[in-house]
Amino acid sequence: MPQRSFEILDVTLRDGSHAMKHAFTEQQVIDTAKGLDQAGVSYFEVSHGDGLGGSSLQYGLSKVDELKLIEAAASVCKTAKVSVLLIPGIGIKEDLQDAVKAGAKMVRVATHVTEADVAAQHIALGRELGLKTVGFLMMAHMADVQKIVEQAKLFESYGAEVIYVTDSAGYLLPHEVTERISALKQSVSCEIGFHGHNNLSMAMANTVAAVEAGATYIDGSLRALGAGSGNTQTEVMVAVLERLGYQTGIDLYSIMDVANDVVAPFMQRPQEITGSGLIMGYSGVYSSFLLHTQTAAKRFGVDERDILVELGRMKAVGGQEDLIYDVAQSFAVKKAL
User: Quick one: CATH architecture of 7-266?
Assistant: Alpha-Beta Barrel (3.20)
Catalytic, out of 18, 22, 48, 292: 18
User: Taking residues 87-101, what's their average pLDDT?
Assistant: 96
Going by C-alpha positions, the residue among 271, 140, 121, 127 that lies closest to residue 193 is 140
* Average pLDDT value for the chain: 95
pLDDT value at 2 more than 50 = no
Domain boundaries, the chain: 7-266, 275-336
22 annotated binding-site participant: no
- Looking at residue 276, the DSSP 8-state letter turns out to be H
Please tell me whether 229 is known to bind a ligand.
no
pTM, full prediction? 0.93
Per the annotation, does 217 bind a ligand? no
Residue 59: pLDDT band (50, 70, 90) is confident
**What is the average per-residue pLDDT within 114-118?**
97
What is the share, in percent, of the chain residues with pLDDT greater than 70?
A: 99
DSSP reduced 3-state for 68: helix
Helix, strand, coil percent values for the chain (each to nearest 5): 50, 15, 35
Region 173-194: mean pLDDT is 98
3-state secondary structure of 110: strand
Q: Tell me the mean pLDDT in the region 134-151.
A: 97
pLDDT at 4: 55
For 266-322, write each residue's pLDDT tens digit: 999 999 998 889 999 999 998 888 888 999 999 999 999 999 999 989 988 877 888
pLDDT score, position 152 = 98
Check: CB of residue 105 under 8 Å from CB of residue 62: no
Q: How many residues would you count in the chain?
A: 337
Cβ-based burial of 3 (10 A; exposed 0-12, middle 13-18, buried ≥19): exposed
- Closest by alpha carbon to 225, among 191, 193, 272? 272
CATH number of 275-336: 1.10.8.60
| Residue 305 labeled ligand binder | no
Residue 18 falls in the annotated catalytic set: yes
pLDDT at 3: 56
Judge whether residue 1 has pLDDT over 50: no
